[in-house]
Structure 1
Amino acid sequence: MTGTSESPTIVWLRDDLRVADNPALLAAIDRGGPVVLLYLLDEASPGIRPLGAASRWWLHHSLAALGTDIAERGGALVLRRGGAETELPRLVDELGAGAVLWNRRYGGPQRRVDAALKSALREAGLEVRSFQSNLLVEPWTVTTGEGNPFRVFTPFWRACLAKGAPREPLEAPASIPGLAGVPGDELEHWALLPTSPDWAGGLREAWTPGEAGAHDRLEAFVTDGLENYAKGRDEPGTDSTSRLSPYLRFGEISPFQIWQRTQRGDLSPAAEGNVVKFLSEVGWREFNWNILFHFPDLHERNFRSEFDAFPWETPTPPVLEAWRHGRTGVPLVDAGMRELWQTGYMHNRVRMVVASFLVKNLLVDWRVGEKWFWDTLVDADEASNPGNWQWVAGSGADAAPYFRVFNPVLQADKFDSRGDYQRRYLPELDTDAYPDPIVDLKASRAEALRAYEYVRRGDHR
C-alpha cells in the first residue's frame, strides 16, 4: 500500500510516555491526517525482557495519565498486547495507515524488532521514520579515537560534552488530530496492578507516575534539592537527590527537558554550582546505555570476561531471603532493602552498599541481585540496572575495583551518622527484636579478596 498525507499515521510509543518533547508525535501531526498513538505490551518478541512487578505497577499508572493527556488534546491512546512484528502490521492493515513513526530504543532485541519492522513496512509502501528522543547522544556517535566504544565514564562524558549543548526540547502539541473508533484493550484487563495481596500502598504514597508528576518532581528538585546536591546526594536521610530515574525510565520526561531546566537563569548560586555534578549523573545513565548498545547481553554476561571464572557461592534460601527482605542484621543494608520493598526505590548510595554486601560479603553472583532489583525497582531499566550491578561487582565497565568492599557500618557512620534513614525503615533497630548479623563483615571481606585474587592471578586457567 502507498500512504498519502491524509492516510493515518501510527505513532508507536515505547519508553517515551509523554506528549511534550516527543519528536515522533510532532512529526506525525506535521504529516497531516489523523494520528493514532499506539502502546503495545510486548511480552512475546524474542529476547524482550518482561517487566518486573514494580515496573508493571508504574506502567499502569503512566499509561492512565498519558491516555488522559492525549484525550484532552483530541486524540486517543490505543492499547494492544502481543508481539510487535505481528500486532503493528495488523493495525496498519486495519487503519490503512500510510506511515509509522517511533522514537528510537537501544537494547539489542528491541533494535532487531525495530529493524525488521522498518524493513517490512517500507517494502509494503509505508513511510517509516525513527527519531532521537530518549538519549542526549546516540550511542554510535560517541567512540574513542580508534573508533571503539568507551569503557570508562570520564572520557566518554567528556566526548559527549564536546559535541556541544543538546537540542532544545520540543513543545507539546496543543491538539492531536485523532481517529475515533480504533479498537484496543482496556488497561485494567492487562492486570498490571497487584491484587492478591495489594503490596503497592507504599508506592502510591511515594510516587505520582505520569508526565505531570515528572515535571513536578523536576521542579521540586531544582527548587529545593539542587542547592545541596553535591554533598546531600550521598546522605540517604535527606531529600537531596532528584528521584527522576523512574520518570526517565518510562520516558515521562526527556533528558533534553532536564538539561534545559538546569540552564535557566532562575537558579540560586548554590544550585548553579551543583549543575555540573547533577548532569554528570545524567551522563552516567547515557554511559550505561552506550555500554548496552555495544554489549546487549549486559544483564546476563560479565562485561569483563575474566569474571566468568569467579567462584560465586550458591546462597541458602534463608540467607537470600534475609537480604531480600532486610533481615541481615546489618542496619544500613536492611534499611535499604526495606525502603526498596516499601517504595520501589532505594537511595543510590545505599544501592551500592546493599549490592556490595550481597556480591562481596555473601559472594552471591551479581545476577541474583540484578534480577531482584529488576522485579522490585520502579526505575529498573535494561542499561542502568545491570550496568550498576556489574560496576559494584567489579565485572563491568569503569567498574569499582573488586577489592573495594563497601563496609556498611562505616558507610552508615559517614552518611547516616544520626541514624535517621536507618530508623525510618527499621523501627525495631534499638530493640531485642533486631537480629544479629548473618555474616562477619571482616571475615567475609577477606574471603572476597581471596576470591578476587583467584581470578586476578588466573588460577582457574
Structure 2
Amino acid sequence: MTKPVLLWFRQDLRLSDQPALVAACHGGPVIPVYVLDDDGPGDHAMGGASRWWLHHSLAALGQALRDKGSRLILRRGNAADVLAELAAECGATAIHAIRHYEPWWVASEEALADRLDLVLHDSNQLAPPGSISTGAGKPFKIYTPFWRALSQHMPPDDPARMPAKIPTPSKWPSTEALGSWDLLPTKPDWATGFSDWEPGEEGARARLDQFIGEAKDYEATRNLPSQEGTSRLSPHLHFGEITPRQVWHRVAGEGGSVRTFLGEIGWRDYAQGILLQYPDVGRKSTREQFDRMPWRTGKAAKADLRAWQRGHTGYPIVDAGMRQLWAMGWMHNRVRMIAASFLIKHLLIDWREGERWFWDCLVDADYGNNGVNWQWTAGTGVDSNMFPRIMAPLSQSEKFDAADYIREWVPELADLPDDAIHDPDEAGCRPENYPEKLIGHREARERALAAYRRVKG
C-alpha cells in the first residue's frame, strides 16, 4: 500500500490556494496535522487573543476537512519531535507544508528535514521572501523600492485550486481534543467583545466580500477611525485563512485608490523579507545605537505603562485605541501608530514593552509585521520614522476626525462636543471620571529629544 503523507498546518489554515495540500494529495493518503508548539517560539508563544482565534480557526478547518471525508489530527509539543513520532507511528516518510519565516518555524523545519523528507511550498506571500532583490542582487531594506520592484512581478500567480477529493488513510492516528487545549478564556471570559470576528476560511471570504465594495475608497477612509475604512483582513491573512494572491486577484480590478490597499498587502511581504535578514526584529533594535537609549524604568514608568495598557493616559485618541484593543483584539491602523508613538516618545518606554502587549492582545499578532511596525515607529528599524519626528496625538485626533471613535470607546467623554473631545483639558471640560494627562505634549517632546541626544552620542 502507498505510504501516507503528512500535511503540516501552521499559519495556513485553509484548503483553497494550498499547494502543500495539492502536492500531498498526489503523494498518497493524506494525514492533516496541527501541532500546538508553545516551546519553540519562546517569549513569542501565541498570546491570549491569538489563541482565541486559533481555537475557532482550527474548529473551522476541522469541519472543512470532515466535509471532504478527511479529518484534522491535533497534537501538542515540540513540532519537529511530534511530527517525527507521528510519521513513525503511521509509516509516513514525507511531510508537505507551507514555508514559514519566523525564526522558531525555521528551526523546526531544519530539525524536521534532518529526520524526514520535508517538502516546503510558498503561498503565504505575493512572492517568496528573498526572491525580489535589488539590481545588485541584494535583499531590500527599504519599503518603497521594494514595493516598486515587487510591483513589476505582479499580478501574482493564480491561486491553486482546492482538490476535489482528499485521499484518506486506512487507519487514522489518535488526536487530542481541541477543547483540552484550553485556548479560550473562561475566568474571566475577556473575549465577549470578539463576536464581530468570524475566524476560518469562510469568515475570511465573507470579510473580503464585504471589503470589495469599499476598496475603491480606501485612500480616503483608511485613516479615519470613526469611518473604519480598513479591510480587517489582517487576522485572516496572519492565520493563512486567505492568501495575499487571493486578495490581490479579487481586489485589483476595483479601481479608485485600490493601489494604496495593495501596497499594504505588499508591506506584509516586505516585513517577511526583513524577517529573513533580521530574525530578531521582534526582540532587538535593528539600529544598534538605540541600545544607548535611556528608556524609563522603575515604579513611575511601570505605572505609566499600566495606564497606557488600560487606556487611562488622559489622551482620548490613545485611550480609545487601547480600549478597543482590549475589547475586540484589534485596533485601527492609524490609531496603532498614534498609540505606539505615545508609548515610545511621550512616555519614553522601550518599544519592546509595546510589542509584547500587542503580541498578547491582537488577534492579528504577526511576528514580522508587529516587530517591523514597532521599530518603524521607534526609529530603530532599517526603514523607519526618524525618532525626532514625534507624533502629536491631539492634533492627529482632530485631523483624522476621531470624535465618534472616541465616543464609542471612551464613554466618559461621549457627551463632549467635537471641538472639545480631542483635548478636554485644553477645552476646560474634562469630566471628573476621566484621568488627567500623564504628561503634557511639550514636556514629553523635550524629554524625548533629550534622551535621543544620548543615542546620537
TM-score range normalised by the length of the shorter chain: over 0.9
Q: In percent, how many aligned pairs have the same letter? A: 47
Q: Give 1:65's aligned residue.
A: 60
Answering whether residue 454 of structure 2 is matched by residue 454 of structure 1, we say yes
- Worse overlay, 94-103 or 326-335: 94-103
- Contact 2:217-2:256 within 8 A present in 1 as well: no
Answering whether residue 273 of structure 2 is matched by residue 281 of structure 1, we say no
Answering whether residue 442 of structure 2 is matched by residue 442 of structure 1, we say yes
User: How big is each residue's C-alpha offset from its partner over 1:365-394, in whole Å with a ceiling of 9 and x where there is no partner?
Assistant: 000000000000000111001110000000
What letter matches 1:192 in structure 2?
A: L
- Contact 1:307-1:455 within 8 A present in 2 as well: yes
Q: How does 1:46-445 map to 2 (within 5 A)?
A: 47=42, 49-122=44-117, 128-179=118-169, 180-203=171-194, 205-223=195-213, 225-264=214-253, 267=254, 272-314=255-297, 315-416=300-401, 419-429=403-413, 430=416, 431-445=431-445
CA distance in 2, matches of 1:107, 1:234: 29
User: How big is each residue's C-alpha offset from its partner over 1:60-105, in whole Å with a ceiling of 9 and x where there is no partner?
Assistant: 0000011001100111000000002211111101111142101100
- Contact 1:374-1:385 within 8 A present in 2 as well: yes
Aligned to 2:115, the other structure's residue is in SS state helix
CA distance in 1, matches of 2:43, 2:394: 39
What letter matches 2:77 in structure 1?
A: G
Shift of residue 165 of structure 1?
Answer: 2.0
Shift of residue 263 of structure 1?
Answer: 3.4
What letter matches 1:392 in structure 2?
A: T
User: How big is each residue's C-alpha offset from its partner over 1:392-427, in whole Å with a ceiling of 9 and x where there is no partner?
Assistant: 00001310111111111001101125x100000011
Shift of residue 238 of structure 1?
Answer: 0.7
Pick from 2, 9, 33 the counterpart of residue 5 of structure 2: 9
- Contact 1:358-1:364 within 8 A present in 2 as well: yes
RMSD of the TM alignment (CA)?
1.4
What letter matches 2:442 in structure 1?
A: K
- Worse overlay, 48-57 or 141-150: 141-150
CA distance in 2, matches of 1:305, 1:292: 17
- Worse overlay, 225-234 or 176-185: 176-185
Q: Give 1:125's aligned residue.
A: none
Where does structure 2 lack aligned partners over 5 or more consecutive residues? 417-430
CA distance in 1, matches of 2:301, 2:351: 15
Shift of residue 255 of structure 1?
Answer: 0.6
Structure 2 CA distance for partners of 1:46 and 1:319, relative to 1, 3 Å: closer
- Contact 2:301-2:349 within 8 A present in 1 as well: no
Q: Structure 2 length normalisation: TM-score?
A: 0.93
User: How big is each residue's C-alpha offset from its partner over 1:305-357, in whole Å with a ceiling of 9 and x where there is no partner?
Assistant: 11111111115332111100101110000000000000000000000000000
Aligned to 1:130, the other structure's residue is in SS state strand
- Contact 2:7-2:33 within 8 A present in 1 as well: yes
- Contact 2:215-2:251 within 8 A present in 1 as well: no
What letter matches 1:233 in structure 2?
A: R
What letter matches 1:121 in structure 2?
A: L
CA distance in 2, matches of 1:364, 1:290: 27
Shift of residue 46 of structure 1?
Answer: 6.5
CA distance in 1, matches of 2:154, 2:217: 27
- Contact 1:16-1:250 within 8 A present in 2 as well: yes
Aligned to 1:120, the other structure's residue is in SS state coil
Structure 2 CA distance for partners of 1:391 and 1:105, relative to 1, 3 Å: same
Aligned to 2:156, the other structure's residue is in SS state coil
CA distance in 2, matches of 1:147, 1:118: 28
CA distance in 2, matches of 1:413, 1:182: 58
CA distance in 2, matches of 1:119, 1:135: 26
- Contact 1:48-1:109 within 8 A present in 2 as well: no
User: How big is each residue's C-alpha offset from its partner over 1:257-315, in whole Å with a ceiling of 9 and x where there is no partner?
Assistant: 00111135xx3xxxx12221110000111111110111001111111111111111115
4+ residue stretches of structure 1 with deviation over 6 A?
none
CA distance in 1, matches of 2:136, 2:111: 30
Structure 2 CA distance for partners of 1:46 and 1:235, relative to 1, 3 Å: closer
Aligned to 1:383, the other structure's residue is in SS state helix
- Contact 2:348-2:448 within 8 A present in 1 as well: yes
User: How big is each residue's C-alpha offset from its partner over 1:123-146, in whole Å with a ceiling of 9 and x where there is no partner?
Assistant: xxxxx3110011112222122233
What letter matches 2:406 in structure 1?
A: Q
Where does structure 1 lack aligned partners over 5 or more consecutive residues? 123-127
Aligned to 1:447, the other structure's residue is in SS state helix
What letter matches 1:422 in structure 2?
A: I
Aligned to 1:451, the other structure's residue is in SS state helix
- Contact 1:48-1:110 within 8 A present in 2 as well: no
Aligned to 2:74, the other structure's residue is in SS state strand
Matched pairs, number = 438
- Contact 1:79-1:187 within 8 A present in 2 as well: yes
